[in-house]
Amino acid sequence: MKYETTVFTDSRTGDTCTCIHHPSGLEIRVMEQPDFSTAHAQFGTKYGSINVRFRKAKDTEFTEVPAGIAHFLEHKLFENEDCDTFSLFNQIGANANAYTSFDRTVYLFSCSDRFEKGLEILLDFVQKPYFTEQTVAKEQGIIAQEIKMYLDDAGDRVFYQLLRGLYHNHPVTIDIAGSVESIAQITPELLYTCYRTFYNLHNMVLCCTGNITAQRVLEVADRLLIPAENEGLESAFLPEPETIVTPYAATKMAVGKTMFMLGFKSRPERGEEELRAALISMLTFAAIAGPASPLYQKLMAEELINDTFTTDYFSGDGFFCLLAGGESDDPQAVEDALLAEIERAKTEGLDAALFETLKRAAYGEAITANYSPEGAVSTLVDSFMTDRISPFARGEVLSKLTLADAQECLRERFRADRVCLSVIAPDGTEG
């Protein structure tokens, strides 16, 4: 069988990734690491909780489905007609799992032996859905309990409260698991509709790393992959204003200390531009308020924050925001100090030496991320989900970022009129 193949090479380390465009429609990414004793595989689809409105090229109208159906579908795929898939992996000594996020669903396993058998199990069960009225009803009860548990998770609540404060229409505000009401609407027919739409091999990727070879992967793939027609899948979101919904949102819960998260809503990007925006935003925020910054040390000394305080970015299809959060007795004072420091840095400039230190550290992390099969397989999946960019793009992009880029990021993405503060306060206190 002939394959269309692309080889990605990291010019700095010499690491390579073989990307095979399989005749079935599936993209297969393989990083051979013969010095390791373990192997990892992840089989993923670009289908997450935000994909609730979609159509194929032949469709004239969009299909809308209940929130939480992607996560529900992930749970149900592990059950086939005659056995539980986890037991099959256990029999060969492999560790298996799966996860659903906002923009993807991924099934995975790792092993130190019998890799081909594990890959057979993975490719087989993901391609064989089995849903009945009885099994769906049973799962609705299980996931409803899971949703109720998350309602008591303060970290989960402060995050989604923030997203609802930032986004008017984007479904990123909806819990990945959906709601008790939304999952009650799920039927076997809806599950099959979503499966046939998003589990099309043209929308999926298989990534393998560790003590394996591309040839071994292809021998299994050639036997088990069921060819699919590219049906021109399109997910659609309602128009999203640049403005935020509210600058402040608060809830009281049974927590020992006030939790907060603030976010700057910003312009979403695609592909390598999304990666570049995420990396420069991460470095800029760390220079402003990371552990090595003067502001962080000042807030710690004043006991306005503790070591739970972190900065990060959050991006995907149609959304991009910059996050900071932790515990504080006075979240508003933290926000005020942060906004004041941002305005100062816009005028006086960021610390050039600190920026370079942060950049070198991030670059080192990007390079070493692929040193283990577990880290490498996640890199391969991430790069595919980011519009199929090179798995080595992170290091390449970081190496080219400059202090001037950070200053531009500061002006464009850290806007005081695009920030929301989300607070979870203890019961019996002012929110």
Q: How many C-beta neighbours within 10 Å does residue 268 have?
A: 17
Please say whether the beta carbons of 284 and 410 come within 8 A: yes
Is 181 labeled as catalytic in the residue annotation? no
Given the residues 4, 61, 64, 74, select the one marked as catalytic: 74
d(CA 269, CA 265): 13
Single-letter amino acid, residue 119: L
Extract long-range pairs of 84-90: CB within 8 Å, 24+ residues apart. Answer: 85/121, 85/125, 88/121, 88/125, 89/118, 89/121
Selection from 345, 352, 361, 359 nearest residue 414 by Cα: 345
d(CA 237, CA 342): 32
Selection from 205, 216, 156, 173 nearest residue 52 by Cα: 173
Report helix, strand or coil for 320: strand
Selection from 154, 145, 155 nearest residue 180 by Cα: 145
List, by residue number, the catalytic residues. Answer: 74
